[in-house]
């Protein structure tokens, strides 16, 4: 997969809004920020000059974009930073544990045992998803 070339953001240029296609980002005088006339959001250019950050009090995390010269490219976090790998690993360990417990304790497999195992795995899956979603929304 080839990397997309990013361009430095010029503070004197007008850009299309990354949120809506019809809006235009116009520079705000005496700041390193842009404002959109359509969605009324404020965007700040980071110190390196390559990343545009949305300032928003509604969401607990800010979205970041790179300018490619034609369009905005949303910055995605690697999977190991947003907790997805931890979620998958913990669910795999839980699944193996749930399958091995009846074998270790010599419990015969019947419908009731399988229903309780599946119910426990489902509840753990939902709790893990809620934890992952909370961590993801904070970043």
Residue 103: predicted pLDDT: 75
Q: Where are the domains of the chain?
A: 15-74, 79-138
Q: Per the confidence metrics, is the pTM higher than 0.85? A: no
In which element (H, E) is residue 36 found? strand 33-36
Residue 1: predicted pLDDT: 40
Residue 90: predicted pLDDT: 77
Cβ neighbours of residue 83 under 8 Å, at least 6 residues apart? 131, 132, 135, 136
From residue 20, alpha-carbon distances to 23, 39, 91, 99 in Å are 6, 7, 38, 49
Q: Which residues of the chain have pLDDT under 50?
A: 1-2
Cβ neighbours of residue 131 under 8 Å, at least 6 residues apart? 83, 87
Residue 31: predicted pLDDT: 86
> What b/e sequence results for 81-95 when a residue is b if at least 16 CB atoms lie within 10 Å of its CB, and e otherwise?
ebbeeebeebeeeee
Of 71, 78, 51, 49, the closest CA to residue 62 belongs to 51
User: Residue 80 in 3-state DSSP?
Assistant: helix
């Amino acid at each position: 997969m080839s990397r997309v070339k990013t361009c430095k953001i010029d503070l004197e240029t007008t850009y299309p809004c990354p949120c809506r296609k019809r809006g235009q980002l116009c520079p705000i005088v005496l700041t390193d920020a842009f404002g959109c006339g359509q969605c009324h959001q404020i965007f700040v250019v980071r110190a390196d000059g390559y990343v545009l950050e949305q300032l928003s009090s509604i969401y607990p995390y800010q979205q970041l974009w790179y300018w490619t010269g034609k369009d905005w490219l949303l910055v995605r976090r690697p999977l190991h930073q947003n907790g997805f790998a931890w979620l998958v690993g913990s669910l795999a360990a839980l699944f193996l544990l749930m399958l091995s417990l009846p074998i270790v304790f010599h419990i015969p497999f019947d419908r009731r045992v399988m229903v309780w195992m599946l119910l426990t795995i489902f509840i753990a899956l939902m709790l893990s998803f809620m934890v992952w979603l909370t961590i993801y929304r904070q970043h």
